[in-house]
Amino acid sequence: MVVDAVRAAHDRAGAVAETLDGIRADLAAGRLPIVSAGHDAEAIAAAQTALGVGAAADAVEAVLAEVALAAVAELGVRGLLVAGGETSGAVTRALGVRALRLTRRVDPGVAWASGRATAVAGEPVLGVLLKSGNFGGVDLLTRAWEEAP
């Protein structure tokens, strides 16, 4: 599932609902849900032109944060791999994760961690891997799920 920045900026609730529907379908089919910002260079440039670079990024991060919160609170998701430093911050803030305990190193500078989602009823413990853009090998995301605690 790809979050479109222009849609996210103009219809955040719709973008969140559509993404959650996709996650539900993946989970029901036994697939690992993957949600990302768009990677099409032309679509990114168009969104940045229409919204501004900062506003486009903010819109996508807001949707991803809401989706993560709903996935944990409503769908029982307990493991998240989040790529992007700003996105990682948005997701952990939305979940109310205030502290992390490193549990398993995957690559230099990248590790699985556990933390409590204090913004979710029952404050479940989550496994999270937060990856900024500057760390990890080309196969990091695949290996991270294989090595998840």
User: Can you give the residue ranges of every domain in the chain?
Assistant: 1-77, 78-149
Q: pLDDT value at position 15?
A: 97
Q: Taking the CA of residue 88 as centre, how many other CA atoms within 13 Å lie in the half-sphere pointing to its CB?
A: 16
Q: pLDDT value at position 129?
A: 96
Question: Would you say 85 and 109 are in contact if contact means Cβ atoms under 8 Å apart?
Answer: no
Question: Would you say 71 and 64 are in contact if contact means Cβ atoms under 8 Å apart?
Answer: no
pTM of the shown model: 0.93
Q: pLDDT value at position 40?
A: 83
Q: For residue range 128-147, list pLDDT tens digits in order.
A: 999 987 778 888 888 998 88
Torsion of CA 123, 127, 132, 136, to 10 degrees: 170
Count of CB atoms within 10 A of residue 32's CB?
A: 9
Can you list the residues of the chain whose pLDDT is less than 50?
none
| Range 78-149 has CATH code 1.10.150.20 | no
